[in-house]
Amino acid sequence: MTIRSATDRPSHYAAAHDTAPIAAVRADAYKIPTDAPEADGTFAWTPTTLVVVEIEAGGCTGLGYTYTDASVVPLIRETLAEVLLHEQVSRIAALTQRLWHKVRNIGRSGLCANAISALDFALWDLNATLLGVPLVQLLGGVLRERVPIYGSGGFTSYSDAQLRDQLAHWVDVDGCTAVKMKVGSDPARDPSRVKAARRAIGDAALFVDANGALTVNGALQCAERFAEYGVAWFEEPVSSDDLDGMRRVRNAAPAIMDIAAGEYAYNSDDFRRMLQAQAVDVLQADATRCGGVTGFMQASQICDAWHMPLSAHCAPALHRHLAAAAPRLRHIEWFHDHVRIESMLFDGAPKPNRGTIAPDLSRPGCGLEFKRADAEPFAL
Ligand SMILES: [Mg+2]
């Protein structure tokens, strides 16, 4: 059965929750075409692949997902599912630890981390669903009722008109107070693109993301030009693998500009190294990559210890509950590609209201239901 509201939970569910064995683990991949060609400073794409994970126990289903390659599906089905099957669903910490141990010899970052992230999220969603409470309640409860979002897209493949229309929509219609555009594929053209964006969004904060496309000196030259248009955030000016380069850009960039990175952090070691290197002003974390709910909340604790702002990267529907409970959270990235997919394929996907989204506290778990029939045309 599916429990649809946090109030219609039969009383035996909480009692049965502790011992409910995991009965099934499913993973499926879907390739969804973008609505226009998308590109950033170092990559271009026309479809996006979504991997959806479902875990069953006690008659309920937990949902998790990650945007990654379809090759994580056989990894989950053939290698990771057996770690979870027949185990007690409430033992999230033990099960997640076993998943990480299972991938020790094949490399825990990248695809393995994406797979474990989706499984971890599904475990948390399933536990909250079995208990009949919204996910945020298992994370310490609501710290903020609504979470700011910033519109994100502005792809380098867009014409200036497409760029202006998209950014202006987020400000004028969705009420965003900040928007982000891609830069770095053609640095000579970027100042005119940034100027066009500034004209379209008025006084809203303007963020740029180079996806690691630039050198340190190239990034600093761009930063000076971008500062003329009040750019307040420069994401991955150089590769975030180059922590020393990130720190050099951060030390020399105009003070109005936050340097941000963290979307390729797959575990708490990656976050710690980034902060120890003093590479960023704001740490980004992505629960679909860094270990699901467990990994994101670890990142949140690390940020707290470092007095560092935290920003959730992409997958906004999935980050809502986590963001509502994370002390230093600044905002969630309202990424065009994922917003479109989540509104198409998940019942309960958030809608922006005055530049914010909120967890749905009337639904148990993460409040999302996968629309499998709608996704079927995209199945791989
Ligand atoms: Mg980015």
Ligand 1 centre from 238 Cα, in Å? Answer: 11
Ligand 1 centre from 46 Cα, in Å? Answer: 17
Q: Which of 281, 220, 231, 279 is CA-nearest to residue 253?
A: 220
Ligand 1 centre from 10 Cα, in Å? Answer: 43
With 50 as the cut, is the pLDDT of residue 4 above it? no
Ligand 1 centre from 131 Cα, in Å? Answer: 35
Strands 369-370 and 346-347: antiparallel
Ligand 1 centre from 166 Cα, in Å? Answer: 17
Ligand 1 centre from 161 Cα, in Å? Answer: 22
Ligand 1 centre from 212 Cα, in Å? Answer: 9
> What rounded mean pLDDT belongs to the chain?
96
With 60 as the cut, is the pLDDT of residue 63 above it? yes
Band of pLDDT at residue 17, cut at 50, 70 and 90: confident
Whether residue 167 contacts residue 154, with contact meaning beta carbons closer than 8 Å, is answered with yes
Ligand 1 centre from 362 Cα, in Å? Answer: 32
pLDDT digits (tens, 9 = 90+) for 87-137: 999 999 999 999 999 999 999 999 999 999 999 999 999 999 999 999 999
Ligand 1 centre from 313 Cα, in Å? Answer: 7
CA dist., res. 280 & res. 288, Å (int): 21
Which amino acid is present at 260?
A
Ligand 1 centre from 260 Cα, in Å? Answer: 9
| Contact partners, residue 92, CB within 8 Å, separation at least 6 | 120, 123, 124, 127, 294
Q: Tokens standing for 255?
A: 């003070």
How much is the average pLDDT of 346-362?
A: 98
How much is the average pLDDT of 229-245?
A: 98
Ligand 1 centre from 14 Cα, in Å? Answer: 40
CA dist., res. 57 & res. 11, Å (int): 16
Ligand 1 centre from 276 Cα, in Å? Answer: 20
Ligand 1 centre from 84 Cα, in Å? Answer: 32
The strand pairing partners of 316, in sequence order, are none
pLDDT digits (tens, 9 = 90+) for 123-179: 999 999 999 999 999 999 999 999 999 999 999 999 999 999 999 999 999 999 999
| Contact partners, residue 172, CB within 8 Å, separation at least 6 | none
Q: Which of 26, 42, 68 is CA-nearest to residue 338?
A: 68
pLDDT digits (tens, 9 = 90+) for 43-55: 999 999 999 999 9
Question: Which tops the pLDDT comparison, 9 or 312?
Answer: 312
How much is the average pLDDT of 255-260?
A: 97
Ligand 1 centre from 314 Cα, in Å? Answer: 9
Ligand 1 centre from 93 Cα, in Å? Answer: 29
With 60 as the cut, is the pLDDT of residue 6 above it? no
Helix, strand, or coil (residue 156): coil
Ligand 1 centre from 181 Cα, in Å? Answer: 10
Domains of the chain, CATH where assigned: 12-133 (3.30.390.10), 137-367 (3.20.20.120)
**Percent above pLDDT 90 for the chain:** 95
CA dist., res. 191 & res. 226, Å (int): 7
Report, in this order, helix, strand and coil percent for the chain, each rounded to 5. 40, 25, 35
Ligand 1 centre from 184 Cα, in Å? Answer: 12
With 60 as the cut, is the pLDDT of residue 3 above it? no
pTM: 0.95
DSSP-derived letter for residue 88 is: B
CA dist., res. 229 & res. 153, Å (int): 18
How much is the average pLDDT of 198-220?
A: 98
With 60 as the cut, is the pLDDT of residue 282 above it? yes
How much is the average pLDDT of 343-368?
A: 98
Ligand 1 centre from 377 Cα, in Å? Answer: 29
Whether residue 319 contacts residue 342, with contact meaning beta carbons closer than 8 Å, is answered with no
> What is the structure's pLDDT at 70?
98
> What is the structure's pLDDT at 186?
96
Ligand 1 centre from 41 Cα, in Å? Answer: 10
CA dist., res. 291 & res. 248, Å (int): 29
CA dist., res. 170 & res. 181, Å (int): 12
Ligand 1 centre from 63 Cα, in Å? Answer: 25
Ligand 1 centre from 58 Cα, in Å? Answer: 38
Ligand 1 centre from 340 Cα, in Å? Answer: 17
Count of residues in the chain:
380
**H or E element, residue 153:** strand 147-153
**Torsion angle of alpha carbons 257, 262, 264, 265, nearest 10°?**
160
> What is the structure's pLDDT at 9?
54
CA dist., res. 175 & res. 134, Å (int): 26
Ligand 1 centre from 207 Cα, in Å? Answer: 11
With 50 as the cut, is the pLDDT of residue 344 above it? yes
Q: Tokens standing for 203?
A: 């006084």
